[in-house]
Amino acid sequence: MSSDQRPNIVFILADDLGWADLSVYGQADYQTPHLDALAAQGVRFTQAYANSAVCSATRFALITGRYQYRLRGGLEEPLVRQAHVHGLPPEHPTLPSLLQDAGYDTALVGKWHLGSLPHFGPLKSGYGHFFGNYGGAIDYFTHKPGVGEAVPRDLYEGEVPVERVGYYTQLLADEAVDWINGKSGRRDASKPFLLSLHFTAPHWPWVGPEDEEISRSLQDLFHYDGGNLATYARMVRSLDQAVGQVLEALREQGLERNTIVVFTSDNGGERFSKTWPFTGQKTELLEGGIRVPTLLRWPARIAPQVSSQVAVSMDWLPTLLAAAGVAPDADHAPDGDNLLPVLEGRAPQYARTLFWRYKAQEQRAVRAGAFKYLKINDNEFLFDVEDDARERANLRHRHPEVFESLKRQWEAWNAQFLPITEEVFTHGVTPDIQADRYAPQKPRREL
């Protein structure tokens, strides 16, 4: 593939966006016209998953194309207290480093959350330009990771702290547009590019673009005493407008046709999200915690379609590398699949077997074809998630052979990866985890 034929890539990642938070996926209380248009122009996935029910673990899988449990940092769910010790090793091949080695210009605008300075960071893992936050969440106006004057801002350009005024979602959109437009010569127009645009929206704190006064009065960044559906709607609409701004920049630069645009979320929705028809939310391996809205547009090669192909975060590295004509690293073979043949219609859709684990409530899950094995504490289930999207009819006694087979497959899969120890569990506990949400109970009866 010649350099002038290689596609540009814009990978847009939302944070804690629920399955039905976009109107194209079922949200009726507000509209997301820019993302709806993106869906109409490209592929709308109906069975796309995140690699984890929380953010940093999924980001390890996304950037490496491999199960996050291969790396110590990927065991921290999410990576919070140990970010200075257990991050993404700079020597590990990544999507941006492999593309950069192949001649791509690379940039990350937004959230990193894969380890903190001085040992870890975007510029150490393949990105040539970075503007954003290193940690998991910051206030939308003060850009602080916590409250109080002693807490520094988590806003950087490269590895240098910076100060900007404005609502963070809009700042990220403006920075992405400036980079696409080549402002100040930061993008090499002679090269194809990868732009990772990783928003923090609609992650807490619950602050919309008109809520600067609320933002500056917060006593707790987690903001358990505030937020509502109306504020959340404003946050998602702001995200939609920001995406529209970036898509318009691609159009104005004449880059629209041969630019792959991907939009997805790092995990399922949080407390104000709409996840219908699924149950569960972030931190849970029920469908609502791991099924995510996912869109792809590439006018040059992929026709508009609705795809029921099962996909997962770690598929994006092999898929995007294949689109760019770049081979994965031979010593770090992807666990994800290249979906390009299916999306281009050169191969039929196929069944997948995917695995998850999450330390809180000792959760385990396997998706194999239509069946899903799920364990939460001492409760075990078998669901047909294609027929029973709400995971209500426990089929473990109706299909005992499938139930036992998936349990064994999970054990064999799990044995390949780093174990979750008590030390890992202690470091990773956050207020997101409701430890007593699932008390042991009798298995549900079949319906």
Instruction: Please report the domains of the chain, with CATH numbers, ordered by start residue.
Output: 8-343 (3.40.720.10), 353-428 (3.30.1120.10)
Q: Which of 86, 92, 113, 143 is catalytic?
A: 113
Closest among 437, 443, 425 to 81, alpha carbons compared = 425
The predicted pLDDT at position 439 comes to 36
H or E stretch covering 137: none
| Structural tokens at position 100 | 């950069």
Residue 55 is a catalytic residue = yes
Closest among 241, 55, 235 to 140, alpha carbons compared = 235
The predicted pLDDT at position 424 comes to 64
Confidence of residue 442 (pLDDT cuts 50, 70, 90): very low
Q: Which of 34, 55, 143, 427 is catalytic?
A: 55
- If DSSP states are collapsed to H, E and C, what string results for 11-41? EEEECCCCCCCCHHHCCCCCCCHHHHHHHHH
Confidence of residue 436 (pLDDT cuts 50, 70, 90): very low
The predicted pLDDT at position 152 comes to 80
| Structural tokens at position 210 | 């008109």
Angle formed at CA 111 by CA 328 and CA 308, multiple of 5 degrees: 55
Helix residue spans in 19-77 (DSSP H): 33-41, 55-64
378 pLDDT exceeds 50?
Answer: yes
The predicted pLDDT at position 85 comes to 87
Mean pLDDT for 138-163 is 86
Name the most confidently modeled range: 325-339, 358-372, 433-447: 325-339
Q: What is the DSSP letter of 291?
A: B
pTM of the model: 0.93
Mean pLDDT for 38-49 is 98
CA distance linking residue 110 with residue 129, whole number of Å = 11
Q: What is the DSSP letter of 56?
A: H
The torsion of the CA quartet 266, 272, 273, 277, rounded to 10 degrees, works out to 140
Beta-sheet strands, E only, within 171-219: 193-198
Q: 31-35, 72-76, 412-416 — which is least confidently predicted? A: 72-76
User: Which one has a higher pLDDT value, 428 or 381?
Assistant: 381
Q: What is the pLDDT of residues 60-95, one digit of tens each?
A: 999 999 999 999 999 988 887 788 889 999 999 999
Closest among 32, 38, 47, 5 to 287, alpha carbons compared = 47
CA distance linking residue 174 with residue 417, whole number of Å = 40
Burial of 149: CB neighbours in 10 Å, binned 0-12, 13-18, 19+: exposed
Q: What is the pLDDT of residues 258-316, one digit of tens each?
A: 999 999 999 999 999 999 999 999 999 999 999 999 999 999 999 999 999 999 999 99
The predicted pLDDT at position 434 comes to 36
Residue 113 is a catalytic residue = yes
| Structural tokens at position 87 | 């991050």
CA distance linking residue 248 with residue 415, whole number of Å = 47
Q: 157-171, 240-254, 432-446 — which is least confidently predicted? A: 432-446
Q: What is the pLDDT of residues 178-224, one digit of tens each?
A: 999 998 778 999 999 999 999 999 999 999 999 999 888 877 776 67
Question: Which residues lie closer than 8 Å to 320 by C-beta, 6 or more apart?
Answer: 9, 11, 95, 99, 194, 260, 262
Mean per-residue pLDDT over the chain, rounded: 91
Q: Which residues on adjacent β-strands are paired with residue 215?
A: none
